[in-house]
């Protein structure tokens, strides 16, 4: 029974008890003059108190049964385009059958209205609201950076990948070959908003994938097309082509790209072979910034990323961690590039990987193929258990340039906005 119903029932029972008490008290006969005197006083007392109680309870019942909105409880925030069942954790997309796909889009990228349902104090309420705030932010970012493009101008060629957030296509856009990351309708608009915002604000860098534009309806991100796909694909499909000389160039490129990101206050938070694109001439570009965050966030979400590349402090479930978590992920990537194996392949589940890593376990160095001694030493520093013992990416870049006898790369300069 809802709380309001229980309160109403309790009040009615209390009224009945008081009524019974007052009728008994008023009707009891006196047995003597003394009793009669006491009875008379008692009668007067009950006579005045009982109606007062009845009036007070009547006012309480009127207020209780009125149309007052129930008090909003913590955690009962309305969620756009979803059913939020309080204390159940269940969310279900609500579509209006009278609207088209774009209007029913619950990720904030459509143009119609949204149906909102939420449970407050046990009562489900339904509200129709205008397009989501995230959609407005996304549109503002796209328009500010002149990134809006017409989805109809994209000519899809072939699907080249898919994941939890959507599908990636190879396509052409006004004669240019591009990659189109098309987001699923159930994907949170914040992911697209964040990725576009980071890439739009980022100056061009040869080791960061280049953003070309974005579509709002349907939600899609358009970037440069990188010929060989991800490093993960190269390892899985053409491992013999990834020679030590090519691997070291790719790792150097990734270090430069990460140094650039960190100098621009961005934590990648999902650095792995699947998010490193390999060009035709065997250089690397970092991609996928959907879960990236500014490094000065007061609180970074825990357990974000991919388990086999996660740093110990992330596995440990700490509320905050630093950009050194990216450095750990980079060390696992180094091992992966030289072993051409899945990290921690002996474990089927990520929870077992977490237990092993938290105890200081790391991938076996003897599985690496012809690694240089300096690179193994650098890798060991990068995956140190204590984040403070890991170098930053500026030092990693300098180590590569020292041993490869390359001209030093100037430190990235953050231009004033």
pLDDT in tens, 181-209: 988 766 666 777 788 888 888 889 999 99
How would you class 386 by CB atoms within 10 Å of its CB: exposed for 0-12, middle for 13-18, buried for 19 or more?
exposed
Q: What is the CA radius of gyration of the chain?
A: 33
Asked if residue 75 is part of any domain, the answer here is: no
> Which residue in the list 253, 270, 288, 326 is annotated as catalytic?
270
- Residue 14 is predicted with a pLDDT of 53
Instruction: Enter the tokens of residue 254.
Output: 């990734």
Cβ pair 180, 156 in contact under 8 A: yes
Checking if the pLDDT of 364 tops 50, the result is: yes
- Residue range(s) defining the domain that contains residue 58: 3-64
The H-or-E segment that residue 293 falls in is strand 293-294
Domain final position from 171, 200, 224: 224
Asked if residue 208 is part of any domain, the answer here is: yes
- Residue 83 is predicted with a pLDDT of 30
Asked if residue 70 is part of any domain, the answer here is: no
**Residue 250 and residue 331 in one domain:** yes
Instruction: Give the confidence band of 171 by pLDDT, cuts at 50, 70, 90.
Output: very high
Domain count, the chain: 4
What CATH number is attached to the domain comprising 384? 1.10.510.10
pLDDT in tens, 314-358: 988 866 788 999 999 999 999 999 999 999 999 999 999 999 999
Asked if residue 58 is part of any domain, the answer here is: yes
**Residue 345 and residue 260 in one domain:** yes
Separation between Cα atoms, residue 386 and residue 384, nearest integer Å: 5
**Residue 194 and residue 274 in one domain:** no
Separation between Cα atoms, residue 259 and residue 397, nearest integer Å: 8
Separation between Cα atoms, residue 360 and residue 356, nearest integer Å: 7
Separation between Cα atoms, residue 244 and residue 170, nearest integer Å: 29
What CATH number is attached to the domain comprising 172? 3.30.200.20
**Residue 263 and residue 300 in one domain:** yes
Active site residue 270: yes
**Residue 213 and residue 344 in one domain:** no
Taking phi over 0 as left and psi of -120 to 50 as alpha, with beta for the rest, 163 belongs to beta
Asked if residue 11 is part of any domain, the answer here is: yes
**Residue 307 and residue 363 in one domain:** yes
Asked if residue 77 is part of any domain, the answer here is: no
Domain final position from 175, 208, 224: 224
Asked if residue 263 is part of any domain, the answer here is: yes
Separation between Cα atoms, residue 180 and residue 196, nearest integer Å: 13
**Residue 386 and residue 273 in one domain:** yes
Average pLDDT, the chain: 75
pLDDT in tens, 303-316: 677 889 999 999 88
**Residue 260 and residue 347 in one domain:** yes
For residues 222 and 317, the model is more confident at 222
pLDDT in tens, 121-155: 334 333 333 344 666 776 777 777 788 888 999 99
**Residue 258 and residue 381 in one domain:** yes
Asked if residue 303 is part of any domain, the answer here is: yes
**Residue 124 and residue 153 in one domain:** no
**Residue 177 and residue 318 in one domain:** no
**Residue 183 and residue 276 in one domain:** no
Q: Count CA atoms closer than 13 A to 116's CA, side-chain side.
A: 17
pLDDT in tens, 262-284: 999 999 989 999 999 999 999 99
Peptide bond into 84 cis (omega under 30): no
Instruction: Enter the tokens of residue 72.
Output: 């909003």
């Amino acid at each position: 029974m809802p709380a309001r119903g229980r309160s109403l029932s309790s009040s009615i029972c209390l009224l009945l008890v008081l009524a019974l008490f007052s009728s008994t008290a008023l009707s009891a006969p006196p047995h003597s003059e003394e009793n009669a005197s006491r009875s008379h006083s008692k009668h007067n007392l009950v006579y005045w108190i009982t109606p007062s109680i009845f009036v007070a309870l009547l006012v309480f019942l009127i207020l209780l049964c009125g149309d007052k909105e129930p008090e909003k409880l913590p955690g009962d925030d309305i969620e756009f385009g979803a059913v939020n069942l309080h204390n159940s954790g269940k969310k279900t997309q609500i579509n209006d059958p009278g609207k088209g796909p774009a209007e029913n889009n619950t990720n904030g990228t459509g143009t119609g209205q949204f149906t909102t349902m939420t449970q407050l104090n046990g009562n489900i309420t339904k509200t129709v609201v205008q397009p989501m705030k995230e959609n407005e932010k996304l549109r503002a970012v796209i328009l500010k950076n002149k990134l809006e493009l017409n989805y109809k101008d994209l000519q899809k060629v072939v699907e080249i990948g898919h994941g939890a957030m959507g599908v990636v296509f190879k396509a052409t856009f006004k004669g240019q070959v591009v990659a189109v990351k098309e987001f699923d309708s159930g994907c949170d608009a914040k992911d697209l908003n964040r990725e576009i915002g980071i890439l739009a604000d980022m100056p061009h860098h040869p080791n960061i994938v280049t953003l070309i534009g974005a579509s709002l309806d349907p939600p899609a991100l358009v970037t440069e097309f990188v010929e060989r796909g991800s490093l993960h694909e190269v390892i899985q499909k053409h491992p013999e082509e990834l020679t030590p000389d090519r691997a070291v160039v790719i790792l150097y490129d990734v270090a430069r790209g990460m140094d650039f990101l960190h100098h621009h206050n961005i934590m990648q938070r999902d650095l792995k072979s699947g998010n490193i694109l390999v060009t035709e001439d065997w250089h690397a570009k970092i991609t996928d910034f959907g879960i990236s965050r500014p490094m000065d966030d007061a609180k970074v979400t825990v357990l974000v990323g991919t388990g086999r590349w996660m740093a110990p402090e992330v596995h440990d479930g700490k509320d905050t961690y630093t950009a050194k978590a990216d450095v750990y992920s980079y060390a696992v990537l180094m091992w992966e590039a030289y072993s051409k194996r899945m990290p921690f392949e002996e474990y089927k589940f990520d929870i077992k990987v977490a237990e092993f890593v938290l105890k200081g376990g790391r991938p076996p160095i003897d599985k690496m193929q012809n690694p240089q001694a300096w690179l193994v030493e650098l890798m060991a520093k990068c995956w140190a258990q204590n984040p403070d013992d890991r170098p930053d990416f500026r030092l990693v870049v300098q180590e590569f340039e020292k041993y490869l006898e390359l001209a030093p790369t100037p430190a990235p300069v953050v231009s004033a906005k």
